Structure 1
Amino acid sequence: MADLVRDTLENYSAASNLMHNEKIREMMASGQTIYHFGFGQSPFPIMNKAADRLAKHASESAYLPVAGIEALRVAIRNFHNKYDSISFSADDVIVGPGSKELIFLLMNIFQGDILVISPSWTSYKPQVMLSGHKANVVPTSMEDEWKIRPEKFTQYLKDNNLSGTKLLIMNNPDNPTGTLYTQKELSDLSEVFKREKVIVLSDEIYGRLTFDDSFVSMAKVYPEGTILCSGMSKWASMGGWRVGYHVYPEKLSALKNAVRSAASHTYTTVAAPIQFAVAEVLNDLDTCEAYMRHTCRIMAAAAQYCHKELSEVGVSSVKPKGGFYIFPNFEILRAKLKARGIERCEDMVKSLFDETSVSVMAGGPAFLRPETELTIRLCYVNFDGAKALAASERIGLESSLPENFVQSQCSQLYDGIQVLKQWAKKTLE
């Protein structure tokens, strides 16, 4: 019965991050102590009164416009105007049940080559395959901070004879590396994109989780060729609410219309109570602002702690500038691991888990890295977000977090990183 599945999906499998999380959650539910650094879900409770707003609109039961109610699309427009200094019409917005669904629909209707970056989020390449396209994987390196560079990107297109219209899926800030493009870097890339006929799906789902407030939207520097992709799952801790959206420039209205048409044949509309509630949440910008500032500085402290502790044992990584992730390379352990018969990253990760109950994900193949490269994605969200948020609010935004904040308020994260650090030290002995 194998011939029931398309040939192009021969090596296709479920989302590795979701499968990993389900397995680890089952083990934790059985009473096992596990340091779970394998899944990027916000640790924080949702904003004050957000749940009340959802309850208020629970009786809304009508089918709503496919692209989303106008009040929500207007709120999205105003939100990005304030935080990204970009202007667009509410008619340019399509709201969907999570940004993942909208990315997939875009891939399905797009005619041309699709490019994904190595490393990248686990679902980009599988979505390309599901949509019937070939995934063209653009390599990067830690030396380049895991960023695509104009000259190397241009050479990649030339070497692979990619001359037509292309769609590049670009995550900024990045999952899994935590890297962040500067405005100058985005501007330099935009010149290449214009010349090489590259449309950018700029996945900015972590845009409001930039630690030094330096985030610049690709839609600001390359407005005519950028589809802005974002949602409420990360900065607003509403992953289970499933609200994402795309913003299309006027020049790409044909793509917008085709995606909206595809949406009418697939998900139809985002749940009515959630649309009305999120519109009210986004219109309460004072609450959003305070929430973002508190959660961002907590995540910044967590990222700094992880980077510092791993660096002390010689594990190299790019210091995260935003999001939930760090992407360390355990190359320093290669000789010692090889002596134990461990040469693949997945084997290293398994050994780490068996010996310490520290759970992480290998960089390859899920994140499109070579299987022998000893990179891992570590999600530094394994702590009690409600406790940490309450502590930050008590301290107040006028004061900085104390140096021992991670140890005192994010103890699960603190302990898990110490266990990982000691494992690395022991392996090196």
Structure 2
Amino acid sequence: MEYDEPLFFRVMQYAARADRDVVDMVSGNPDWDAPPALRDGLHEYADAPTEAFQYPPSEGLRGLREEIAERRNVDAAQVVVTVGTAEANYLAMARALERDAGDEVILTDPVYPYYPGKTSMLGGRATFVPVDDRGRLDAADVREVASEDTACIVVNTPNNPTGAVYGPDTMRELADVAEEYDALLVADEVYDHFDYSGRFESALSVDSDHRVVTSGFSKSMAITGFRVGYAVFPHDLVEAAKTRHMLVNISASRPAQQAVLDALQGTPAEYYEETRDMLRERIDAFTDALDAAGAEYTTPDGAFYVMARFDGFPGTMENVQRLIDEAGVAGMPGEAFGESRSDWLRFALVTPRADEAAERLADYF
């Protein structure tokens, strides 16, 4: 199957070659520090015996799986620790498409581009359902396009790129659609710690054998390079997912898993609260500057992305390159996320220079 390389890499490479200073607002790489307990755990692990440097159990360290299971109120046997949330989504989508229940994958528009990429790679067929102006998904629109060919419904809440948070009613209705058509609902909740609305509720609150929840620690602990994620599968699907995981990756990194476990057990809630407060301030300052630039924009209810539309400046790759060269700000083209936001640009507010970038945009426009 043919599939396109995500545009993230092209934008980052172009920005790196620029002849001027550029504020990078392309990828969701957190700029705040990881939990102290995680660093302490790594230091301690360095002195571990040789056996601790060997393969861990393929499905993940038992202690980490049990910690996740307790926090998510599930059976530890349902948890597979993966190489980031990206692999968790891959395993869930693969499981959906290999069940002989159809080849259609329903996605939102706009959409995180790795989902349609995985769909193509796995031999699926993508169908896109537009969201409303605030990024909210109407489950009735999903039901309208669903059919016996639907194998999978993929949603991301809190959402990248719109910042929308899907409430519990929406998740219940989406699970109902999945059950009706013998599909799997895959709920990517990697931004679950970044809910500013108070409306987020995990899809695990929905009692269904037709939903898989994926998440990870890349964003919440500011450790995108550690590549530790997980998926929570229904009992009857977990063994096949574990086999695919073993054949593709054998396991996730043992030291990284142990460090995450140490951080989960040793990090107070204040760590996450302070991060949310900091991001709220960034979002407010950034959107204030967008007001000054006369832009239309989204105010995220979750995650840390802002989409903006500037009059007469559509979100093409060419215009992203112009912004890099002429304003010194690197964002993502809206066309990377689907047709419905092709006039928009997406900015990741995970840089201490977000205020500076906002001023540059306001001056430029």
| TM-score normalised according to structure 1 size | 0.77
> What 5-or-longer segments of structure 2 have no aligned partner?
none
Secondary structure of 1:127's counterpart equals: helix
CA distance in 2 between partners of 1:43 and 1:176 (Å):
18
| TM-score normalised according to structure 2 size | 0.90
Secondary structure of 1:278's counterpart equals: helix
How has the CA–CA distance of structure 1 residues 13 and 150 changed in structure 2, closer, same or farther, with 3 Å as cutoff?
closer
- Counterpart of 1:280 in structure 2: which amino acid? D
CA distance in 2 between partners of 1:71 and 1:51 (Å):
18
TM superposition shift of 1:213: 3.9
CA distance in 2 between partners of 1:375 and 1:266 (Å):
36
- Listed as ranges, the matches of 1:13-412 within 5 Å are 13-25=4-16, 27=18, 32-58=20-46, 59=48, 60-80=52-72, 87-109=73-95, 110-111=97-98, 112=102, 113-142=104-133, 145-157=134-146, 162-250=147-235, 253-254=236-237, 256-284=238-266, 287-330=267-310, 333-334=311-312, 345-364=316-335, 366-369=336-339, 373-383=342-352, 412=353
What is aligned with 1:422?
363
Tell me the number of residue pairs that the alignment of Structure 1 and Structure 2 aligns.
356
How has the CA–CA distance of structure 1 residues 99 and 344 changed in structure 2, closer, same or farther, with 3 Å as cutoff?
closer
CA distance in 2 between partners of 1:357 and 1:374 (Å):
20
> What 5-or-longer segments of structure 1 have no aligned partner?
1-7, 81-86, 338-342, 384-411, 425-429
Q: Say what the alpha-carbon RMSD is for the aligned residues.
A: 2.2
TM superposition shift of 1:222: 4.8
State whether residues 327 and 361 of structure 2, in contact with CA within 8 Å, keep that contact through their aligned partners in structure 1: yes
CA distance in 2 between partners of 1:243 and 1:344 (Å):
32
CA distance in 1 between partners of 2:209 and 2:91 (Å):
20
Moved over 4 A (4+): none
Secondary structure of 2:309's counterpart equals: coil
CA distance in 2 between partners of 1:46 and 1:26 (Å):
29
CA distance in 2 between partners of 1:325 and 1:306 (Å):
11
CA distance in 1 between partners of 2:207 and 2:137 (Å):
16
Specify which structure has the bigger relative contact order, considering alpha-carbon pairs within 8 angstroms and separated by 6 or more residues: 2
Secondary structure of 2:324's counterpart equals: helix
Larger gyration radius, structure 1 or structure 2: 1
CA distance in 2 between partners of 1:318 and 1:192 (Å):
28
TM superposition shift of 1:156: 2.5
TM superposition shift of 1:38: 1.2
TM superposition shift of 1:370: 5.3
Deviation per CA, 1:277-333, whole angstroms, max 9, x where unpaired? 22222122xx24121011011111112222233234442223101112011222xx1
CA distance in 2 between partners of 1:49 and 1:319 (Å):
32
Secondary structure of 1:328's counterpart equals: strand
Bigger helix fraction = 1
How has the CA–CA distance of structure 1 residues 165 and 370 changed in structure 2, closer, same or farther, with 3 Å as cutoff?
closer
CA distance in 2 between partners of 1:181 and 1:311 (Å):
26
How has the CA–CA distance of structure 1 residues 20 and 350 changed in structure 2, closer, same or farther, with 3 Å as cutoff?
closer
